[in-house]
Amino acid sequence: KNEVEQSPQNLTAQEGEFITINCSYSVGISALHWLQQHPGGGIVSLFMLSSGKKKHGRLIATINIQEKHSSLHITASHPRDSAVYICAVIEDSNYQLIWGAGTKLIIKP
């Protein structure tokens, strides 16, 4: 079983829909990263969270440390949000990154 699980693996939605991508992990962590990878391959760091909630524009990330779960939400989704979204946790025993497999999001106009 993977230590970091993302769901869904693939998500297709219509423009304007509210999107939720989930990340569950089984290890103790010091923080969690959400990253975005566009079809061209470039990777952008979106958030780093160790508790609570962060918001940037239409993106919201939440984390529940007790439940070992984080969500990434996109409000008023747009075709330019189409990308792979990757969750990575910093394991608190050795501070190494453990990566999720990514969620491929397609937003149709």
Partner 1 sequence: DVKVTQSSRYLVKRTGEKVFLECVQDMDHENMFWYRQDPGLGLRLIYFSYDVKMKEKGDIPEGYSVSREKKERFSLILESASTNQTSMYLCASSHFPGWGGYTFGSGTRLTVV
Task: Kindly list the residues in this chain that would bind partner 1 in the complex (CB under 8 A).
Answer: 30-31, 33, 35, 37, 41-45, 48, 86, 88, 90, 92, 95-97, 99-102
User: Which residue(s) pair with 83 in the sheet?
Assistant: 105
Nearer to partner 1, 56 or 109 (CB): 56
Taking the complex as a whole, how short is the minimal distance between the CB of residue 33 and partner 1, in angstroms? 6
- Between the alpha carbon of residue 54 and those of residues 49, 62, 109, the distances in Å are 7, 7, 27
| Strand duo 43-49 + 52-56: pairing | unpaired
Nearer to partner 1, 57 or 109 (CB): 57
Amino acid occupying residue 27: V
Taking the complex as a whole, how short is the minimal distance between the CB of residue 100 and partner 1, in angstroms? 7
The helix/strand/coil state of 49 is strand
**Tokens linked to 85:** 């979204």
Nearer to partner 1, 11 or 48 (CB): 48
**Tokens linked to 75:** 């409000």
Find tokens 């409000």 and name the residue: 75
Taking the complex as a whole, how short is the minimal distance between the CB of residue 16 and partner 1, in angstroms? 29
The helix/strand/coil state of 79 is helix
Taking the complex as a whole, how short is the minimal distance between the CB of residue 15 and partner 1, in angstroms? 26
Nearer to partner 1, 97 or 106 (CB): 97
